[in-house]
Structure 1
């Protein structure tokens, strides 16, 4: 049964999906059929399967209004995750907002690398630039004895991460605060995580509009060479890590050599680098000497 049947009655599920799919395709949105279903299901408060079962069912006026507004925003290339207000990551469902980067599957390589080096039972974990809290919360979900601290420059992001901890049953083992990287912290950690801004400033306008126009610039812009945040983080790591502690940093494409050089200059050892599912060297593992 097609979900884009323009032969369905005006005002029906099928007709709404047909028109939305056409608009999304014209706006160069990938997977227009799937996105139309996601938006209409969200607006109507039903599962997508209900749309496919009853394409001739009427769309109630309040749902039609919600759908129209969500479609308008998506046609302006606002990310789907911001329209829905949530995004899946690892085994968690997380609240997202324009104050944070949207968690991406590529970053799950950082979680895998972290779990490989964090003792079990786990110890103290620090997440610098926590955003939604996705990295820290994913690690805590797999290490029930670990405790973590997440830091973000934006107070709104730190508050959002705390809500995500509570929603996923992890509030008792996670604390979040607003701060400038590690400057407000004392004490040492068994594991430090970070997905810092690493895109070269000049490259940001050329990113897909969902990213360049809607995700927070402070979480994207890594300076002229993309390495500004790494310089600050690796300089702080020797004072943050326990003697046997490790750090796992997310990398951008082709950044392994440059970030490794910064880490070695700071007195850190390179433990390895994990690739994401696309084969990109994504998770650099560092250790205290």
Structure 2
């Protein structure tokens, strides 16, 4: 089959399945099936597809028509200029989370703790951008930690990144210059409104803590000061409607210099705070 015909048929299948932006996804899946650079796709559309590539593309399209995320199908997602391994055990790294990276890189740090590390995209990006920093990523999910370790090896950061199974701070000791987290924050009542790509395919424990979605922030804020150095910084990702609520939670724990940052769409996306500890002279 000619690649252009295969692509056209795939777009029709995805459109019938209700997949948003079917042409974009079909092209990404075709690129992966052919094993080519994305910039070459226009050059090969008039060529016949190898049988193996055609079969793989059909498998990809069948999976996407069931609303499995593209990143899970091809096993990778680009984030802050690097490719991260993605499986159904971790959240698909999202562009919105790059807002947290931008805020964190404005800070001075040599040690980082990432609570709920998932794929490792936050911790490993920060370590890659700061070659003298070291960090620990924790997660309750052993499967997620395995993905994070694979990404650390892929990015050649395994010597500066450690991983620990822990329920938030439970198994963590020591102090850190920076604590970051993209915790589960979707309220239970909002889960039914999620896209099936997210609701049916991404790990529930990474999406929602149940209730009002704010419990992780209460837990993190209550213990953050015990694990931050003097002038250490806490930075968390939030849902678009949670800025003021998280700010109040931080205030109740006597955190200082609280700031809310917006993403590229102007939505509240990140909250940062400092401990208020005084450096010893």
TM-score > 0.5, shorter chain as reference? yes
**What does residue range 163-202 of structure 1 map to in structure 2 within 5 Å?**
163-202=150-189
Asked if 1:36 is matched to 2:23, the reply is no
Q: Which residue of 2 aligns with 1:263?
A: 250
Is 1:135 the counterpart of 2:131? The answer is: no
| Structure 1 contact 91–138 (Cα < 8 Å) conserved | no
> Residue 49 of structure 1: CA displacement?
4.4
1:68 maps to which residue? 58
Q: Does 1:103 align with 2:131?
A: no
Q: 1:54 aligns with which of 44, 48, 52?
A: 44
Matches within 5 A, 1:203-282: 203-282=190-269
Pair 1:161 & 2:148 matched: yes
1:7 corresponding residue in structure 2 = none
Which blocks of at least 5 consecutive residues in structure 2 are unaligned?
277-281
| Structure 1: tracts of 5 or more residues without a match | 1-10
Q: CA deviation at 1:222?
A: 2.9
The answer on whether the counterparts of 1:222 and 1:229 sit within 8 Å (CA) in structure 2 is yes
Give the direction of change, closer, same or farther, for the CA distance of 1:44–1:243 in structure 2 (3 Å limit): same
**Conserved? CA contact 1:190–1:242, under 8 Å:** yes
Deviations 1:151-195 (A, max 9, x none): 011111112111111211211111112111110011111000000
Number of matched pairs? 276
Deviation at 1:73, TM superposition (A): 0.6
- Alpha-carbon deviation of 1:30? 2.4
How far the C-alpha of 1:50 sits from its partner, in A, is: 4.0
Q: CA RMSD in A?
A: 1.3
CA deviation string 1:38-90 (max 9, x = no partner) = 21221122234444223332222222221111111100110001011001111
CA contact (8 A) 1:264 1:270 kept: no
Aligned equivalents of 1:223 and 1:54: distance in 2?
Answer: 48
Residue in structure 2 matched with residue 147 of structure 1 by the alignment: 134
Find the partner of 2:73 among 83, 107, 130: 83
Helix, strand or coil at the partner of 1:171: coil
CA distance in 2, matches of 1:97, 1:233: 26
CA contact (8 A) 1:192 1:247 kept: yes
